[in-house]
Structure 1
Amino acid sequence: MAPVTPPTAPTLPFFCDPSELPAPLPTLDEIVAADQTFPGNVDHTLAYQQVARVKDKFVVKYGVSPFASENEGHALLLLAKYPSVSIPVPRLYAMYREGDRLFLIMEYKEGTQLSTAWDSLSEHDKLDIVGQLRDIFTQVRQIPSPGIFSNVTGGPLRHRFYLSVDPTPELNGPFQHERDFSMAMARRSRENWESNGYKPWTAEFLERHLPTALAGHPSVFTHDDLQRKNILVSQDVVVSADSANGGRWRVTAVVDWEGAGWYPSYWEYASMFIDFVWDDDWPEKFEGIVEPCPLEAGLLRFVRQDLDY
């Protein structure tokens, strides 16, 4: 398939057609006063980002950069351009700025975080959910790619390996070639070690080997944070006495697309592998959602060890 042009970022403020709203958009006062925090909020970012349920119809994510990002809104708008595929994500109703804060107003999706439900699920239910997620991400990966490695709209990547205080294209992207994408991790390693006064031995290893070891992968649309907490599931109402476990579990939404973008095809698997805890069967089941890339994942885990510590 020929590369396509990255989607154009809409000029802010963005508001959907009012006829698509389930209710009038919440006001700024209503958003700030909301006291129901949406599951998945991370304690250490509370001072910089809030995620709240408002008026039982909306989820509002708001905060200052880089904790709140337009990239998530652009991801939801991109996914909405493919109504013929079945990718359960919240609809974006509005995205705008008030002072130094970005506001994303999204559809509220019912469901329990898969991280909460997982331990109580039967093996049959787990495999069923994995199958649903495999179908979802098969469709995600079929979205036409621009052939580059970038955020949703062709700008810098948001994964932590590529973030820096001072934006630098060689470190953050966008990257025209996979070699440049790989070398950016080696450059980040060199920058870290040299800034602390150390000889960059691991950086030199990465510079020698990443471009060839991580090569030959197409650019595909990637969620980049496919943890269980970002997957919502719900259980169907029992329709008969024979219904097992109260009815079938369904994936109702995949949320938190703020890091989404165009990454090498191994990235969805490998970027989750590097943070696996290996205390239950999730790493095994994850191999049924996206194609496992153990060689790339193992090398990326070494990169994580170097960059995160």
Structure 2
Amino acid sequence: MLLNPIHLNHFHQPSPPPPPRQHVEEVDPFEALYNSLSNLTLTPTTLIPRAPAAVSKPIAPAPVPQPQPAIVDKQQDEQRIPVNLIFPPGDNVIFAHSSYFTRPKYAFQPDLPSVPQVRGQAILSHGSLPLPSPYYLPAPQAGLLVKYGADTAVTSTEAKTLMTLKRYLSDKVPVPEVFGWRRDIGTGERVLYLSLPSEEVTLEQQWPYLSDAQKEHVCLQIKDMVKSWRRLQPGGVEVVASIDNTPLKDEIFQFPSSPGLKIPAPGPFPNVSNFHSYFVATAVALSQTKQKDDTPAKINYQPHHLFPNNVPIVLTHGALHPRNIIISMNEQNQPTVTSVIGWEQAGWYPAYWELCKARYECSKPKEENMSLTDWESKYLPAIVNLDGFGMEEQGWNGRALCQYWDYFVGLMHRWQ
């Protein structure tokens, strides 16, 4: 079924990279992190397209003209689109101008269901408690998909991300339309009202039956879509955060509650450097609190030697995987992407984050007999690459970055 929820059970556990410089400290592992975050503020910046790093050129004869299509493509890679949107505030927002209220299917469902109505239907549909969170309820006659769950699993931030994509990339990235959202003030449960994808087949379900030519065909489409949304960047301020400048929603920053363990919120961060400091310090601090030794050595990792700070901040899906890509087969029997879903973890991240997180998604449980080995090893590196961000010129390697990333994520969740 297209909309079965996926739960986080497995984590990449690569061998740790060679440790950077370290020294022993006798401090609370979270104290320094709190102190460094307490004075962070978001400062306005002037957004201009980032030019590639300068490269010295030897003296040579007049350059040979290059094919025009390649030049145009490179110029497009360098263009960034600053996003400046004002989102409607509040926990209860309905868009009366949306297609739900104007298309003929509206007659089947005169109003969007309330949170209690959705809860009752979800229990009836699932047949038992507790319900998975999030839980999806399709209403095909009304062209409606309701996403329901606790406010930690279902947020209005996802709806705002979809609105942003509709506003800036409606002709390049197909995503569900947002009809609104509501929150039950008593239970904290939230619902999102979205348009129902016309197809109910995911790329994950169809992948084992596709030929190599069909896989290449659909992956080229996905590559163009990823390239399009990675051109979006925050407008007005330099920030690592969710689309609405709230804390990041990535699942790797969601930790089980523990007495005496208070972890700072993941953002918003005014720059990539502060985000890296939080990422590394949180991983190390969590690791230290789980040590059985009562007097473990306090290791201070320097994240700036491990992750690039001079990298663009771009819109990142955060869960790019065939399970979140809806396809149909066209008249030529070629797969066509009809919708990209699963934007609940999206936000403004360093440009390399999409690749690391997409690899991480491949470690999650798959549907029975769903082999995706060649997706991760062959197609994903081509779909999400670091071209056009100046990282290779600075000496950063995507594979090495992902190994460091895997290591620190493993530190965060190893003892869960």
TM-score (norm 2): 0.64
Specify the alignment match of 2:345 in structure 1.
Answer: 259
Shift of 1:169: 8.8
Specify the alignment match of 1:122 in structure 2.
Answer: 211
Specify the alignment match of 1:11 in structure 2.
Answer: 89
Q: Which has the higher contact order (CA 8 A, sep 6+)?
A: 2
Report how many aligned residue pairs link the two structures.
Answer: 293
Check whether the contact 1:234–1:252 (CA below 8 A) recurs between aligned residues. Answer: yes
Specify the alignment match of 1:91 in structure 2.
Answer: 177
- Aligned partner of residue 281 in structure 1, secondary structure: helix
Check whether the contact 2:327–2:337 (CA below 8 A) recurs between aligned residues. Answer: yes
Check whether the contact 1:178–1:264 (CA below 8 A) recurs between aligned residues. Answer: yes
Please say if 1:281 is aligned against 2:364: no
Q: Which amino acid aligns with 2:240?
A: F
Greater Cα radius of gyration, structure 1 or 2 = 2
Compared with structure 1, are the counterparts of its residues 10 and 53 closer, same or farther at alpha carbon in structure 2 (3 Å cutoff)? Answer: same
Check whether the contact 1:171–1:185 (CA below 8 A) recurs between aligned residues. Answer: no
- Aligned partner of residue 250 in structure 1, secondary structure: strand
Specify the alignment match of 1:61 in structure 2.
Answer: 147
1:23-82, Cα deviation, whole Å (9 max, x unpaired): 244323663426668xxxxx9983443111024311100111211111111111111211
Provide the aligned C-alpha RMSD in A. 2.9
Equivalent position to 2:277, from 160, 163, 183: 183
1:153-168 matches, within 5 Å, as 153-164=244-255
Check whether the contact 2:284–2:408 (CA below 8 A) recurs between aligned residues. Answer: no
Check whether the contact 1:87–1:136 (CA below 8 A) recurs between aligned residues. Answer: yes
Q: Which amino acid aligns with 1:65?
A: D
Compared with structure 1, are the counterparts of its residues 301 and 126 closer, same or farther at alpha carbon in structure 2 (3 Å cutoff)? Answer: same
Check whether the contact 1:36–1:54 (CA below 8 A) recurs between aligned residues. Answer: no
Q: Which amino acid aligns with 1:183?
A: S
1:221-241, Cα deviation, whole Å (9 max, x unpaired): 0000011111111112x4xxx
CA distance in 2, matches of 1:127, 1:61: 32
Shift of 1:288: 2.0
- Aligned partner of residue 385 in structure 2, secondary structure: coil
Please say if 1:20 is aligned against 2:114: no
Shift of 1:196: 2.9
Q: Which has the larger displacement, 16-25 or 94-103?
A: 16-25
Shift of 1:18: 3.9
1:151-210, Cα deviation, whole Å (9 max, x unpaired): 111110111333355998955111112121111122212331343355666x736x22x2
CA distance in 1, matches of 2:98, 2:145: 18
Equivalent position to 2:401, from 286, 291, 296: 296
Compared with structure 1, are the counterparts of its residues 161 and 6 closer, same or farther at alpha carbon in structure 2 (3 Å cutoff)? Answer: farther
Specify the alignment match of 2:220 in structure 1.
Answer: 131
Specify the alignment match of 1:40 in structure 2.
Answer: none
Q: Which amino acid aligns with 1:110?
A: S
Identity of aligned residues (%): 20
Compared with structure 1, are the counterparts of its residues 83 and 188 closer, same or farther at alpha carbon in structure 2 (3 Å cutoff)? Answer: closer
Specify the alignment match of 2:156 in structure 1.
Answer: 70
**Structure 1 runs (4+) greater than 6 angstroms displaced:** 166-169
1:219-263, Cα deviation, whole Å (9 max, x unpaired): 000000011111111112x4xxxx4xxx22100111011111000
Q: Which has the larger displacement, 74-83 or 264-273?
A: 74-83
- Aligned partner of residue 105 in structure 1, secondary structure: strand
